[in-house]
Amino acid sequence: GGAGDEVDRLAGTMSGMLDRGEGGYRARQQFVSDAAHGLRSPLATMRQYAELARAHPEAASPAELSEVVLAEGERMNDIVEGLLLLARLDENPVTVSTDVDLDDLALAEVQRVRALGLRSADGRGIAPAQARADPRLIARAVRNLVDNAVRHASSTVTIGCRVVDQSALIWVDDDGAGVPVSERERVFERFARLDDARSRDAGGSGLGLAIVREIAHAHGGSARVEESPSGGARFVLVLPAT
């Protein structure tokens, strides 16, 4: 859909929030704050390039300006889509009726990383694991973790999964700078910006990890980050096993 569809969907989400009393009011305030925070940066970038092109046409070619507008527009679209998903998770319980093979998801992501050609992918830790979950939501959560790892890895992304007791675990490792212990909760906040190398992450919407945690919670599970064996970050998604 186009921008009009997205605005309509945002308006519908906001209207629904308005109808739910104090809890809905707080959710609406948080939603508006998140949206304003996230959209400010790409809007500012587009405005700066447009002003530069107008004031100094020789310094910014039409091709450069169009590249910036397209890239920042795509980022804004990702933010809007992410906010809509978070709003739906905030407001509607997830009904689970499907057994999802996490090992199939993990293998597909290994193949995708290899096809991208940006990083090596290691899938030797993938073992059979099944969770009762919404397939599209879990696929989105795993994709977000892998995209995050690709951005921060030095050379290799490692994906694994297995069942431990009554929990199905899927984890994604990178061999980058890692996440300091003091930041391991804040990294899951919406539009979190850390003080280390991850704060200079220009590739994501700022919502990817928040979406992972909300999807985990919606399934009665959890998400956490710890140190990976390679010294980078290991993000772990924990779900009830079938």
- The predicted-structure confidence for 136-148, as pLDDT tens digits, reads as follows 999 999 999 999 9
pLDDT band at 13 (very low <50, low <70, confident <90, very high): low
Is pLDDT above 50 for 200? no
Is pLDDT above 60 for 160? yes
**In whole angstroms, what is the distance from residue 12 CA to residue 163 CA?**
39
> Tell me: the pLDDT tens digits for 47-95?
988 888 889 888 888 888 899 899 888 888 888 888 888 888 887 788 8
Distance (Å) of CA 4 to CA 9, 47, 127, 138, 165: 9, 21, 44, 28, 47
Q: Using alpha carbons, select from 101, 232, 98, 112 the residue that is nearest to residue 161.
A: 101
**In this predicted model, which residue has the larger pLDDT, 240 or 26?**
240
Question: pLDDT at position 140, please?
Answer: 95
**In whole angstroms, what is the distance from residue 96 CA to residue 98 CA?**
6
DSSP single-letter state for residue 92: S
Mean pLDDT rounded to a whole number for the chain:
86
Residues paired with residue 160 on neighbouring β-strands, in sequence order: 125, 171
Q: Which two tokens stand for residue 117?
A: 């050609």
Q: Which helix (H) or strand (E) holds 131?
A: strand 130-132
Q: Using alpha carbons, select from 152, 158, 171, 79 the residue that is nearest to residue 124.
A: 158
Q: Using alpha carbons, select from 77, 91, 79 the residue that is nearest to residue 15.
A: 91
**In whole angstroms, what is the distance from residue 160 CA to residue 120 CA?**
14
Question: pLDDT at position 198, please?
Answer: 46
pTM of the model: 0.79
Contacts 24+ apart (CB under 8 A), 59-63: none
Which residues, 6+ apart, have CB-to-CB distance to 78 below 8 Å? 205, 207
Q: Over range 25-36, report the average pLDDT.
A: 73
**In this predicted model, which residue has the larger pLDDT, 201 or 95?**
95
**In whole angstroms, what is the distance from residue 142 CA to residue 151 CA?**
14
pLDDT band at 23 (very low <50, low <70, confident <90, very high): low
Tokens 């977000």 belong to 144
